[in-house]
């Protein structure tokens, strides 16, 4: 069977469910998708943290660049945002393919409102399937809480890296100042030695 033929059959299968069992079916479908998305979110957050940690090590091993540290932090935040957007799109695509919402734009709008627990909008599910709405909200609560905890660790790591880079910059400046001072002292001593030699040579004449 062609894969695209399975989706319409699933949509028609949902229509065959008796109305009194559709709320339970909505809970089951929503719970399954919630578990899948939470696992996906966990894998994504783990990958983002690993990439951020690798970037920190590269920063600390090289020359201190505060701009690169800011770019690294911004990239981690952007990836976390993208992770939530992907999950909203997954909810929207699923509801559209299941035939519960007509139009991907309406589905995205509905899922974004439910996922972020805004709770308002002109698009709504049918009465029998509206139990999916709180499941989408719960998935958003779970994943936002997970993202918040990860973001706290990223902010703490970013602050620590910035402090270390600032300390390294100060040490570099101190080393440069010390090198310049040593060079200046060497030149001054050389000039003093040259003057002493000239004075000695004049006295001998």
* pLDDT category of residue 191 using cuts at 50, 70 and 90: confident
* pLDDT category of residue 6 using cuts at 50, 70 and 90: very low
Residue 81 CA to its chain's centroid (Å): 6
State the burial class of residue 30 (Cβ atoms within 10 Å of its Cβ: 0-12, 13-18, 19+): buried
pLDDT at 154: 93
Across the chain, mean pLDDT equals: 84
Residue with tokens 């409102």: 113
Within 62-131, residue ranges assigned H as helices are 66-97, 104-115
pLDDT at 49: 94
Per-residue pLDDT tens digits for 69-96: 889 999 999 999 999 999 999 999 999 8
Beta carbons of 125 and 101 less than 8 angstroms apart = yes
How far is 59 from 67, CA to CA, in rounded Å?
10
* pLDDT category of residue 102 using cuts at 50, 70 and 90: confident
Which residues are CB-neighbours of 52 under 8 A, at least 6 positions away?
72, 73, 75, 76, 154, 157
pLDDT at 11: 67
């Amino acid at each position: 069977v062609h894969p695209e033929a399975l989706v319409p059959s699933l949509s028609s299968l949902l229509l065959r469910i008796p109305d009194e069992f559709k709320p339970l079916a909505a809970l089951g479908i929503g719970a399954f998708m919630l578990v899948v998305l939470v696992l996906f979110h966990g894998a994504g957050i783990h990958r983002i943290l690993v990439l951020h940690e690798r970037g920190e090590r590269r920063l600390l091993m090289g020359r201190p660049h505060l701009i690169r540290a800011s770019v690294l932090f911004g990239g981690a935040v952007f990836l976390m945002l993208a992770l939530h957007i992907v999950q909203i799109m997954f909810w929207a695509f699923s509801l559209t393919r299941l035939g519960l919402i007509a139009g991907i734009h309406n589905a995205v709008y509905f899922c974004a409102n439910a996922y972020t627990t805004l709770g308002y909008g002109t698009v709504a599910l049918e009465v029998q399937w509206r139990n999916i709405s709180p499941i989408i909200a719960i998935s958003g609560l779970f994943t936002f809480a997970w993202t918040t905890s990860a973001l706290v660790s990223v902010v703490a790591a970013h602050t620590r890296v910035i402090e270390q880079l600032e300390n390294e910059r100060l040490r570099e400046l101190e080393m440069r100042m010390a090198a310049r001072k040593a060079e200046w002292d060497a030149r001054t001593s050389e000039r003093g030695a040259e003057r002493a030699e000239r004075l000695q040579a004049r006295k001998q004449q």
